[in-house]
Amino acid sequence: MSILSAKNLVYEYPDGTKAIKDLSIEIERGKKISVVGKNGSGKSTLFSLLNGTLKPKSGEIKLYGEKIGYSQSEIRNLRKNVGIVFQNSDDQIFAPTVYQDIAFGPANLGYSDKQIEEIVQKMLDYFGLNSIKDKPPHHLSGGQKRKVAIAGILAMDPEIIILDEPLSNLDPVGADEIMDILNELNHTGKTIIISTHDVDLAYSWSDTVYLLSDGKISISGNPESVFSQEELIRKSSLKTPVLLEVYKELEKRWLSSCGFLPKNIPELVQTLREIYLFRVKVPKGTKVGDCINVGFLYKEYDPSGVYESVNSKVLLISDDNSAIVEVKKKIMNPGSIYIYDIDNHDSEQLHLIFDKYDINYVAAVGKRSHGLADSENIKVDANYGVIDKSILKSLTGGRCIILTGKGMIEHTYKRIKEYSTESGIKINCKILNTEN
């Protein structure tokens, strides 16, 4: 269902430059959407139009299928439903304290003081900002400011959250935290739109990608189809995502099977072609048809690899004592992934689980899981792309635990099972302590 749409938008700056030329866009509910394009392609202008802060010269914007007029109340309704997080947090945070800034939106929406207090407290808890709620913004770090900016918008409970370059000027861990928050928000049903130059992020994260160039949408669709248009991508001063490039090279060399374009590393691994024939050195006197045990997989290949070789059959012997053998590979016991529900947390039980399953890889989803891990003195190995990383780890025999809240459990379990059935590798996945 289309929640927000724009049709034939035209916008001209007062000096006459056309920033948006005949642009149409359809935003579907609950999707993750990226708008990519080079600097000055009109991304920020488009966002201001969608939020009603700019008025288009012609064209129309529809919210829930109803055309937006530009009366005070209609604009208010649009802004309540479509929140924008600016690229520069300093432009957005203007109140003297964090608490005041988050409370600004709800106060304008006319909630009672008690409601406002509840909402702000919820935001502070959700973003882990409780310890800095009375601080002035100039005492915050860049990552904290970004969180406050997002919290200030989220406090109005908009259906759609637009973020202009959400990861600019953030360190990698700070960026991971923001992406975690965005993913979690998306799971609770929010529609998320981001603008970005980071093609890797746009490719692996989004459901839909809009490529904006010269004030128009030049192509849109799922990330695989958009980023396969190399010519267009290059013209728009963007690059092909690294993952896609690697895959294309592998495909050209017949190393991976064609079929579908991988969106993340586990999927890329899945496309790799299995190699059955190896050329190895064999002892003298070996005959064609013999079964030998080649230990080479432990020498030439990564010892932490996935496979062990069993009874390889010699197919052909050449003169220089080497032979072509067919290797029957057996996947060594893949590891397991355990999912731990932090809403049913019990300290003693958690430590028992660690002992019992001999956990060697800990992944935490969201701020609360991190807080819990900290308070239990558990070192967290992964905090972003948690599911992918856990799958990769378990493929090489790792025993992972994923700490997550109730909302994400089902999704996590489903993703792992899906991978398991698609790849044919049986990963042991278990939800540990949920009620149902």
Partner 1 sequence: MHNLDDIALLSPLRKKNTHLKMLIVLFCIIAGVLSPSPVTPLFIGVVMIFITLFFGKVPKKFYLKLLFATMGFAFISAVMIALFSGGILGDVIFSYKLFFINIVLTTNSLNHSILIFSRAFGGLCSIFFLSMTTPMLEMFSIMKRVKFLNTFSELVMLIYRYIFVFLELLINIRAAQTMRFGYDNTKSALNSLSMLVSSLFIKTMDQGDKLFLAMNSRCYEGKMKYFEPCYKITFTDTIAALVFVVSVIAVFYFTMNFRFF
Binding site for partner 1 (CB under 8 A): 48, 51, 53, 76, 79-80, 83-84, 86, 90-97, 99-100, 103-105, 107-109, 113, 116-117, 120, 134-139, 152-153, 156
The answer to whether 4 touches 61, Cβ cutoff 8 Å, is yes
In whole angstroms, the minimum distance from the beta carbon of 166 to partner 1 comes to 16
When the beta carbons of 33 and 50 are compared against partner 1, the nearer one is 50
In whole angstroms, the minimum distance from the beta carbon of 150 to partner 1 comes to 13
Q: How is residue 138 annotated by DSSP?
A: G
When the beta carbons of 134 and 410 are compared against partner 1, the nearer one is 134
Q: How is residue 9 annotated by DSSP?
A: E
In whole angstroms, the minimum distance from the beta carbon of 95 to partner 1 comes to 7
In whole angstroms, the minimum distance from the beta carbon of 353 to partner 1 comes to 40
When the beta carbons of 99 and 210 are compared against partner 1, the nearer one is 99
Give me the DSSP letters along 312-330.
Answer: EEEEEE-TTSEEEEEEEEE
Question: What are the structure tokens assigned to 345, written together?
Answer: 């947390």
In whole angstroms, the minimum distance from the beta carbon of 50 to partner 1 comes to 11
Q: Distance (Å, rounded) from C-alpha 47 to C-alpha 52?
A: 9
In whole angstroms, the minimum distance from the beta carbon of 133 to partner 1 comes to 8
When the beta carbons of 42 and 105 are compared against partner 1, the nearer one is 105
In whole angstroms, the minimum distance from the beta carbon of 162 to partner 1 comes to 10
When the beta carbons of 47 and 227 are compared against partner 1, the nearer one is 47
- Which is nearest to 269 in space by CA: 315, 331, 341, 214? 331
In whole angstroms, the minimum distance from the beta carbon of 68 to partner 1 comes to 15
Q: H or E stretch including 164? A: strand 160-164
Q: H or E stretch including 151? A: helix 142-154
In whole angstroms, the minimum distance from the beta carbon of 190 to partner 1 comes to 17
Q: Which residues pair with 313 in a beta bridge?
A: 291, 326
When the beta carbons of 116 and 323 are compared against partner 1, the nearer one is 116
Q: What 3-state DSSP class applies to 291?
A: strand
In whole angstroms, the minimum distance from the beta carbon of 366 to partner 1 comes to 25
Q: How far is the CA of 384 from the CAs of 114, 369, 396, 430, in angstroms? A: 35, 12, 19, 20
Q: Which residues of 29-60 are buried (b: 16+ CB within 10 A; e: fewer)?
A: eeebbbbbbeeebbbbbbbbbbbbebebeebe
User: What sign has the CA pseudo-torsion 274, 276, 280, 283?
Assistant: positive
- Which is nearest to 140 in space by CA: 78, 90, 192? 90
When the beta carbons of 86 and 307 are compared against partner 1, the nearer one is 86
When the beta carbons of 33 and 149 are compared against partner 1, the nearer one is 149
In whole angstroms, the minimum distance from the beta carbon of 103 to partner 1 comes to 5
What's the gap between Cα 304 and its chain centre? 27
| Residue positions counted in the chain | 436
| 172-187 helix and 406-423 helix, angle to the nearest 10 degrees | 100
- Which is nearest to 378 in space by CA: 368, 357, 392, 364? 364
When the beta carbons of 79 and 147 are compared against partner 1, the nearer one is 79
When the beta carbons of 86 and 278 are compared against partner 1, the nearer one is 86
Question: What are the structure tokens assigned to 93, written together?
Answer: 């945070």
When the beta carbons of 156 and 325 are compared against partner 1, the nearer one is 156
- The amino acid occupying position 81 is N
